[in-house]
A = this chain, B = another copy of it.
Amino acid sequence: MATDRPRPVTLLDVANEAGVSVSTASRALTGARRVRGDLERRVQEAVESLGYRPNEAARGLRMARTMTLGVLFHRLNSPVSLDLIDGMGAAAHEARYSLAVTSARGDKAQYTSLFRHFYGQRVDALVLIWPRGDLSAHLAPFARAGVPAVGIRWEPGEPGLTVVSADTSAGIAEAMSALAGMGHTQITVIAHGVLWVPPNLRRNYIDQAAEAVGMRLRRRTSRESGQTLREIVTSELASEEPPTVILAGYSEVGEVIASVRALGKRVPEDVSVVSFADSRFGAVAQSEHAAAIDVDSFELGRRIAAVTLEAIENGPPSEDLRIRGLSHWSPGVTIGPAPRR
């Protein structure tokens, strides 16, 4: 139907209907300058009756602004991405911006192609979610055009990129101190699903929080050992210094709890279990009422978009951002006082 679609109503139509010139109509709508009250009213009426909506492409051409944020995922594989999209969308839409979402699906050539695509689209800003590889060549054209780029990742300090990272230490520290306060001294972190991350800030957060409260920590992962979740739990509880708490990702807590029970132990009387939920999906998917360290990725998305919009308006901030207050400790029925030995 692309051939014969009826021409949508334009500003000229509105102006004619209202009996004014296009410039007056435009002014009445943008509010740049004052127009006479009755004329403004007539324009508004014409807009209503004709169902006029300004053509963003034309506006973009004229204003050299597309009101579009180009969001580039290296890969779209985690529910966290959903929250980020949702959060960014919420903030962007409030500011009348659109979100052009893309994923390279882990492919390097795609990644390059998407940068070019966004350049052609003249996005007002670039948002890179967990980017990989060398970005400098990709970012250069945007930098030249004054298009800000904001990225979420752990390592700051990329030239031409404002790096935003989530500081989840608060919730982790809260959890550790709550557990320590209940007498726990030995924790096992099962870095299996969402809790598996490359050696980075979040891993540090956990280590440091444990150390700060004198909690001995063991980290187990099926990636290295090739063991199943159940085998890991079994060997841990049979070890010389068995943990009194187990921390696992939200997609594993159910199985962890069931595995503990399969060994004839009770949760939380014999072993406490804590979930790590970094997405709203995770918070729902984990066993209900499990104690959890929650991370608000939706809010993280909002904040990233806010930073980006701000950068469009006033230029990039002078330094990278570490966003706090996104994580919190949420007690639940799966934790209790440490058992006596």
Contacts and interface: CB of A to CB of B under 8 A. Distances in A.
Interface in A195-251: 228-230, 251
Contact of A116 (B53, B58, B66, B288): B53
A323 interface: no
A89 B61 contact: no
B287 A2 contact: no
B82 A102 contact: no
B105 A85 contact: no
Contact of A255 (B56, B117, B257): B257
A89 B103 contact: yes
Contacts of A262: 258, 261-262
A17 interface: no
Interface string A37-73: 0000000000000010111111011001110100000
A135 interface: no
Contacts of A148: 1
Q: How many copies of the shown chain assemble into the complex?
A: 2
Contacts of A254: 229, 251-252, 254-255, 258
A276 interface: no
B99 A101 contact: yes
A68 B66 CA distance: 12
Contacts of A315: 1
Contacts of A255: 254-255, 257-258, 287
Contact of A65 (B2, B229, B230): B2
B5 A146 contact: yes
A35 interface: no
B101 A117 contact: no
Contacts of A1: 146, 148, 312, 314-316
A4 to B, nearest CB: 7
A141 interface: yes
A259 interface: yes
Contact of A76 (B54, B82, B145): B82
A76 B86 contact: yes
Contacts of A93: 102, 110, 113-114, 117
A120 interface: yes
Contact of A8 (B55, B79, B122): B122
A56 B120 contact: yes
A133 B290 CA distance: 34
A78 interface: yes
A147 interface: yes
Given A68-B100, A76-B82, A258-B261, 6 more contacts: A56-B120, A96-B117, A98-B121, A100-B100, A251-B251, A255-B257
25 contacts: A2-B312, A4-B146, A5-B147, A6-B144, A6-B145, A8-B145, A51-B141, A57-B66, A76-B86, A78-B281, A82-B82, A86-B105, A93-B113, A98-B102, A99-B100, A99-B101, A228-B287, A230-B261, A252-B254, A254-B254, A258-B259, A258-B261, A258-B262, A261-B262, A262-B262
Leading 8 A-B pairs by shortest Cβ distance: A258-B258, A5-B146, A254-B255, A57-B60, A53-B120, A262-B262, A101-B101, A1-B315
